[in-house]
Amino acid sequence: MTEVDRVRELAHAALASLEQNRQRIDDLNVYPVPDGDTGTNLTLTARSVVEDLDKTTASDRPELAHAVTRAALMGARGNSGVIFSQIVRGAAEVLGAADRIDSTTFAEALRGASDAAYRAVRRPVEGTMLSVIRELAEEAEERATTDLLLTELLPAVVARGEDALARTPDQLAVLREAGVVDAGGAGLLEIVRGLAAGVAGEPIPEAPEHREELGFDAIHQELSRYRYCTVFVVEGEGLDRESLEAELEPLGDSLLVVGDDTALKIHVHTDDPGRILSMGGAIGVLDGVEIANMHRQTEERAERLLEAVPDAEPNASDVIAVVAGKGNRRLFQSLGAAKVIEGGQTMNPSTSELVEAIDAARAPEVLLLPNNDNVILTAEQAAGLANKPALVIPSRSIQAGLAAMVAYDGSRATEENAEEMREAIDAVATGEVTIASRDAQLNGVAVREGNYLGLAEGKAVAGGESFEEVASAVIERLLDEPRGLLTLLTGDGDPPLGDLIKGVEARHPELELDVQAGGQPHYPLLLSAE
Amino acid sequence: MQLTAANTAIVVDSTADFPEAQERFPNWRMVPLYVRFGDQSYRDYVELGPDEFYARLRTADELPTTSQPTPGDFLAAYEELAAHERIYSLHISAKLSGTFESARTAASELGDKVRMVDTETASAAITMLGLAIQRRLERGTTDEEIAALVERYKDEHRLLFTVDTLEFLAKGGRIGRAAKFAGQMLHIKPILTIDDGEVLPLKRVRGNQKAMQEFVSEFTEGSNDEPGLRVGIAHADAPERATALVKMVRDVRPHAEIETVTTLGAVVGTHAGPGTVGFFWFTD
């Protein structure tokens, strides 16, 4: 086996170990912000290293070390991912330059990793993954001798890591209050555990059976005062890490600026991601921009954890909805849908998928929202086959389903909910703008393949090349009767709505307008009026 | 003992949102709660009026906080009314504020002269109970009759309100079971009530017009068009919504008397938030 192959094998082992524990680590995450994505971020970072290794053409160790460092930097996600990329960098620098790899070089590599990680953080905090990497390095340095085999050293290092991780709540109050260990440290430990198993030629240890008990308090940590987690890379020449760091410092917290003079990775929590990006763009080329709404992440985690709290009162009836589009999924979740199954026009869920979801619901009874003509039958079949009473509310569109969802109240029994939800569907007028798949004459409207086609209450009302004209025609039809609220759900192509909205506002000054990024495929716009 | 407007006083706290109390009725007093921005404290309505409060709220970095009057504040009001033989002291639900406890502490200094009423409700609903008592005082009444009225009022008066966001209620910890009703997206308007002294969600609708329609349909279902029907409306920095409600009441219940249209003061406004609209009715 070549050295590159061996490195690949070890990296896969480390990643596998991390992947197994990803969700558990996400749920531990309370520091620096309780956004519940540390496990995911570390996994994504490690994955990008592994993917790069799988493709690399590097022939010698220094070249390989350089490639790994760069892959970690480019792929680093989140606070923990960025720190981890520096751990990789510190270790790779030592290992890339070493003649042979034994216990002493491994100890030096851990020391390099630890130093690089501390350097990356402006104000290092103990009780985090920094403490864990430092203690790993200390343990390795204490034990390493030229004749100690790596397979003998690694178990001791892992044990020390476990010990260091267990002590993180003693070092950091926020962990102690939440009754958890540090998530980043836990992730790092899993990576090292996977490496150790790989070196020893052992299988990756199973994820711990025992799910760490999460205190209810862990759910209710304060939010970061900033909303957006902003991560990107700037590539350029002669980049000045320190001056960029100083410039960004006043605009947010959890700031990390790492890398070298050709590429910098930036991670910051801020309310003004636009400003941060312009500052990056001013000194180089931006890449890998990611902006996440942490408040949303926190809510999602709270929802997930609340499901796991055994004494939270279950609903009398749960909703399972079939929904296409990421934004739409969130809307259904925000209104209390217990489960959202991806699907719609062209991607229908299977009966068995729905049956499984019904039987897995926490509530004793289930309401099913198919949200598409093509799904209603499957939903009815599933309701008949499931072991739990389930009722299909025949919503024919996502918009109709949303109206039903607003009327839903988890504390009410199924029948009572069903009545209110059906009424809500009847009270809403729905429309769509889609793209014609062939030339057609529909309801007196001629439309050519590739043109926009507008439907109101299922009937074609307009066709043509102009999105705005077609959408306007649908809107006017929906507003034939007096309506108070118009909802627009934009599709995955993010059609520009500026002029359309200005027109509607001018023609209907009393109307309330609600525009949401739905993200559904095939329909640039879904509309409803109520 | 025969109770009249001459020998009986009514004390409300400022959460009744009835700042003109004393001006309209010489036997009424309003004791202000406190609202605090940073380290500056103001007496509700007296030192900080609603308009100024909402203007400040729009630009404040931090949300204000509130605190109940001290027992001393109540004692001062009771002593000012020393010429009266009986005082009815009407307060916001004791489950929502410590105001009732503060008033009770003061009242206990004065033997049984002061009759304490936990109205188990808030805002204009407190005022409307006071007005019902005042009507009886003006024709002559007894403690027994007032006690019966208070019980009937708690049972029969209706209150609906809607907020632009549940954030303010949540911040003040006054949200209870309504929390699950959240939905920051989609213009969700929760329709809430106060039941048994606590904020309770009834249903949720989308958009202001729907919320107003919901008020109308509950109101028409729960009332008859008769001269005894009395209505109160309160809003937080949303006068156009209050105006729309007034018009709606005139349309569907032309015989009803609209007793009070008021702005929520700084204290109630701190906990409900701008955009809140409350609708109250009682047949007397």
* Set of chain B residues whose Cβ sits within 8 Å of the Cβ of A331: 185-186
B26 vs A: CB within 8 A: no
Cβ separation B186–A514 shorter than 8 A:
yes
* Set of chain B residues whose Cβ sits within 8 Å of the Cβ of A512: 187, 207-209
Percentage of chain B exceeding pLDDT 90: 66
Note the CATH number of domain A3-207.
1.25.40.340
What is the spatial distance between Cα A375 and Cα A370, in angstroms, rounded to a whole number? 5
pLDDT digits (tens, 9 = 90+) for B134-150: 999 999 999 999 999 99
- From A299's Cα to the closest Cα of chain B, the distance in A is 11
pLDDT (mean) for A113-142? 91
Chain A residue with the nearest C-alpha to that of B212? A484
Q: Could you confirm whether domain A228-293 is CATH 2.40.160?
A: no
Return the minimum-mean-pLDDT range out of A174-188, A196-210, A463-477, B82-96: A196-210
The confidence band for A249, taking pLDDT boundaries of 50, 70 and 90, is: confident
Q: What pLDDT does B173 receive?
A: 64
- From B203's Cα to the closest Cα of chain A, the distance in A is 7
What is the spatial distance between Cα B74 and Cα B78, in angstroms, rounded to a whole number? 6
Residue B151: other Cβ atoms inside 10 A: 10
* Set of chain B residues whose Cβ sits within 8 Å of the Cβ of A407: 203-204
Cβ separation A514–B208 shorter than 8 A:
no
> Of A512, A513, A516, which to mutate for an interface test with B (greatest number of B Cβ within 10 Å)?
A512
The confidence band for B155, taking pLDDT boundaries of 50, 70 and 90, is: very high
Q: What pLDDT does A225 receive?
A: 67
Cβ separation A530–B187 shorter than 8 A:
no
B180 vs A: CB within 8 A: yes
* Set of chain A residues whose Cβ sits within 8 Å of the Cβ of B210: 484-485, 530
Question: Average pLDDT, whole number, for chain A?
Answer: 86
Chain A residue with the nearest C-alpha to that of B205? A406
Percentage of chain A exceeding pLDDT 70: 91
* Set of chain A residues whose Cβ sits within 8 Å of the Cβ of B209: 484-485, 512
- Is the ipTM, as predicted for this complex, more than 0.85? no
Indicate the residue of A331, A410, A420 with minimum beta-carbon distance to B186.
Answer: A331
What is the spatial distance between Cα B89 and Cα B87, in angstroms, rounded to a whole number? 6
Q: What pLDDT does A33 receive?
A: 60
B186 vs A: CB within 8 A: yes
Helix (H) or strand (E) run with residue A383 in it: helix A373-385
Q: What pLDDT does A334 receive?
A: 82
* Set of chain B residues whose Cβ sits within 8 Å of the Cβ of A514: 186-187, 206-207
* Set of chain B residues whose Cβ sits within 8 Å of the Cβ of A516: 185-186
* Number of Cβ pairs < 8 A linking chain A and chain B: 51
Using a 10 angstrom Cβ sphere, with 0-12 exposed, 13-18 middle and 19 or more buried, the burial of residue B23 is exposed
* Set of chain A residues whose Cβ sits within 8 Å of the Cβ of B204: 406-407, 409
B 194-253 near A (Cβ less than 8 A): 203-210, 213
Specify the CATH architecture of the domain A429-529.
Answer: 2-Layer Sandwich (3.30)
Please give the residue that has the higher pLDDT: either A214 or A374.
A374
Cβ separation B188–A514 shorter than 8 A:
no
Query: What residues contact residue B75 under an 8 Å CB cut-off, 6+ apart?
Result: B106, B109
* Set of chain B residues whose Cβ sits within 8 Å of the Cβ of A487: 186, 206
Indicate the residue of A336, A409, A485 with minimum beta-carbon distance to B209.
Answer: A485
Q: What pLDDT does A461 receive?
A: 93
The confidence band for B176, taking pLDDT boundaries of 50, 70 and 90, is: low
The confidence band for A301, taking pLDDT boundaries of 50, 70 and 90, is: low
B175 pLDDT more than 80: no
> Of A299, A405, A406, which to mutate for an interface test with B (greatest number of B Cβ within 10 Å)?
A406
- From A212's Cα to the closest Cα of chain B, the distance in A is 26
* Set of chain A residues whose Cβ sits within 8 Å of the Cβ of B180: 336, 410
- Kindly list the residues of chain A whose beta carbon comes within 8 Å of any beta carbon in chain B: 330-331, 334-336, 402, 406-407, 409-410, 420, 484-485, 487, 512, 514, 516, 530
B 77-96 near A (Cβ less than 8 A): none
> Of A398, A409, A486, which to mutate for an interface test with B (greatest number of B Cβ within 10 Å)?
A409
Q: Which domains does chain B have, with CATH numbers?
A: 8-33+68-155 (3.40.50.10170), 158-283 (3.30.1180.10)
Query: What residues contact residue B283 under an 8 Å CB cut-off, 6+ apart?
Result: B156, B223, B224, B226, B228, B229, B230
pLDDT digits (tens, 9 = 90+) for A314-342: 788 999 999 999 899 989 988 889 999 99
What is the spatial distance between Cα A253 and Cα B243, in angstroms, rounded to a whole number? 45
A167 pLDDT more than 60: yes
Percentage of chain B exceeding pLDDT 70: 95
Cβ separation B186–A335 shorter than 8 A:
yes
What is the spatial distance between Cα A369 and Cα A244, in angstroms, rounded to a whole number? 50
Q: Note the residue count of chain B.
A: 284
Chain A residue with the nearest C-alpha to that of B189? A406
Q: Which two tokens stand for residue B11?
A: 């004390």
Residue B284: other Cβ atoms inside 10 A: 18
Cβ separation A485–B188 shorter than 8 A:
no
- Give the phi and the psi of residue A387 in degrees, each rounded to 5: -85, -10
> Of B167, B175, B192, B206, which to mutate for an interface test with A (greatest number of A Cβ within 10 Å)?
B206
Q: What pLDDT does A156 receive?
A: 94
B179 vs A: CB within 8 A: no
A176 pLDDT more than 90: no
pLDDT (mean) for A155-161? 94
Instruction: State which of A34-48, A297-311, A491-505 shows the largest mean pLDDT.
Output: A491-505
Query: What residues contact residue B82 under an 8 Å CB cut-off, 6+ apart?
Result: none
pTM beyond 0.80, yes or no: no
Q: What pLDDT does A32 receive?
A: 64
* Set of chain B residues whose Cβ sits within 8 Å of the Cβ of A328: none
The confidence band for A215, taking pLDDT boundaries of 50, 70 and 90, is: very low
The confidence band for A403, taking pLDDT boundaries of 50, 70 and 90, is: very high
Q: What pLDDT does B276 receive?
A: 94
Q: Which two tokens stand for residue A396?
A: 């024919």
Query: What residues contact residue A145 under an 8 Å CB cut-off, 6+ apart?
Result: A103, A104
What is the spatial distance between Cα A180 and Cα A415, in angstroms, rounded to a whole number? 42
- Give the phi and the psi of residue A13 in degrees, each rounded to 5: -65, -45
B184 vs A: CB within 8 A: yes
Cβ separation A336–B180 shorter than 8 A:
yes
Q: What pLDDT does B179 receive?
A: 54
Q: What pLDDT does A3 receive?
A: 82
Q: Could you confirm whether domain A313-426 is CATH 3.40.50.510?
A: yes
Residue pair A53/A7 in contact (Cβ under 8 Å)? The answer is yes
Residue pair B142/B254 in contact (Cβ under 8 Å)? The answer is no
Q: Which of B102, B113, B117, B126 is nearest to B79 (CA)?
A: B113
pLDDT (mean) for A149-155? 92
Q: What pLDDT does B182 receive?
A: 54
A498 pLDDT more than 60: yes
Question: Average pLDDT, whole number, for chain B?
Answer: 90
| Alpha helix positions (H), A98-240 | 103-120, 129-143, 150-166, 168-171, 173-178, 183-200
Helix (H) or strand (E) run with residue A484 in it: none
- From A512's Cα to the closest Cα of chain B, the distance in A is 7
pLDDT (mean) for A10-35? 82
Indicate the residue of A407, A516, A530 with minimum beta-carbon distance to B185.
Answer: A516
The confidence band for A222, taking pLDDT boundaries of 50, 70 and 90, is: very low
* Set of chain B residues whose Cβ sits within 8 Å of the Cβ of A402: 186
Cβ separation A512–B208 shorter than 8 A:
yes
> Of B175, B184, B186, which to mutate for an interface test with A (greatest number of A Cβ within 10 Å)?
B186
Residue pair B34/B53 in contact (Cβ under 8 Å)? The answer is no
- From A484's Cα to the closest Cα of chain B, the distance in A is 6
Please give the residue that has the higher pLDDT: either A26 or A150.
A150
pLDDT (mean) for A5-29? 87
Residue pair B90/B11 in contact (Cβ under 8 Å)? The answer is yes
| Alpha helix positions (H), A35-77 | 38-55, 61-75
Q: What pLDDT does A217 receive?
A: 32
Indicate the residue of A336, A409, A530 with minimum beta-carbon distance to B203.
Answer: A409
Report DSSP letters for A339-373, one per residue.
EEEE--SS-PPPHHHHHHHHHH-SSSEEEEE--SH
What is the spatial distance between Cα A489 and Cα A56, in angstroms, rounded to a whole number? 43
* Set of chain B residues whose Cβ sits within 8 Å of the Cβ of A334: 182-186
A210 pLDDT more than 50: no
pLDDT digits (tens, 9 = 90+) for A251-290: 888 788 888 888 888 888 888 888 999 999 989 998 888 8
Sequence ranges of the domains in chain A: 3-207, 228-293, 313-426, 429-529
The confidence band for B264, taking pLDDT boundaries of 50, 70 and 90, is: very high
pLDDT (mean) for B32-43? 88
* Set of chain A residues whose Cβ sits within 8 Å of the Cβ of B188: 335, 406
- From B205's Cα to the closest Cα of chain A, the distance in A is 6
- From A454's Cα to the closest Cα of chain B, the distance in A is 23
